[in-house]
Amino acid sequence: MRARPLLTGLLVPVLLVAAWQAAASAGLASPQALPSPLDVLLRWWEYLAPPEAFDPAQSSRLGWILSGELVGDALASLYRVLLGFAIGTGLALPLGLLMGASDRAHRLLNPLFQVLRPIPPIAYIPLAILWFGLGNPPAVFLIVIGAFFPVLINTITGVRHLDAVYLRAARNLGAGRVTIFTRVMLPGATPYILAGARIGIGTAFIVVIVSEMIAVNGGLGYRILEAREYTWTDKVIAGMFTIGLIGLAIDTVMSRISRYLLRWHQELER
Q: Which of 106, 117, 160, 171 binds another protein (CB under 8 A)?
A: 171
Binding of residue 12 to another protein (CB under 8 A) = no
The residues in 146-165 that bind another protein, with binding defined as CB under 8 A, are: 165
169 binds another protein (CB under 8 A): yes
Cβ(100)–Cβ(189) below 8 Å = yes
The span of 76-84, 110-118, 129-137, 170-178 binding another protein (CB under 8 A) equals: 170-178
* Number of residues forming the site for another protein (CB under 8 A): 22
77 is an interface residue for another protein by CB under 8 A:
no
Question: Is 174 an interacting residue with respect to another protein (CB under 8 A)?
Answer: yes
CA-based end-to-end distance of the chain: 17
DSSP code per residue over 138-183: HHHHHHHHHHHHHHHHHHHHHHHTS-HHHHHHHHHTT--HHHIIII
Binding of another protein by 181 (CB under 8 A): no
* CB neighbour list of residue 260: distance below 8 Å, 6 or more residues apart: none
Q: Which of 35, 121, 188, 219 binds another protein (CB under 8 A)?
A: 188
Residue 170 touches another protein, criterion: CB under 8 A: yes
Q: List helix spans (H) across the chain.
A: 3-25, 37-48, 61-65, 69-101, 103-116, 125-132, 136-160, 164-172, 177-179, 186-214, 219-229, 233-261
Closest listed residue to residue 236, CA positions, set 72, 61, 3, 43: 43
Q: Does 173 bind another protein (CB under 8 A)?
A: yes
Q: Closer to another protein at the Cβ: 225 or 262?
A: 262
Under the binding rule (CB under 8 A), the answer on residue 118 touching another protein is no
- Interaction of residue 260 with another protein, rule CB under 8 A: no
Q: Binding residues for another protein, per CB under 8 A?
A: 165-166, 168-176, 179, 183-184, 187-188, 190, 263-266, 269
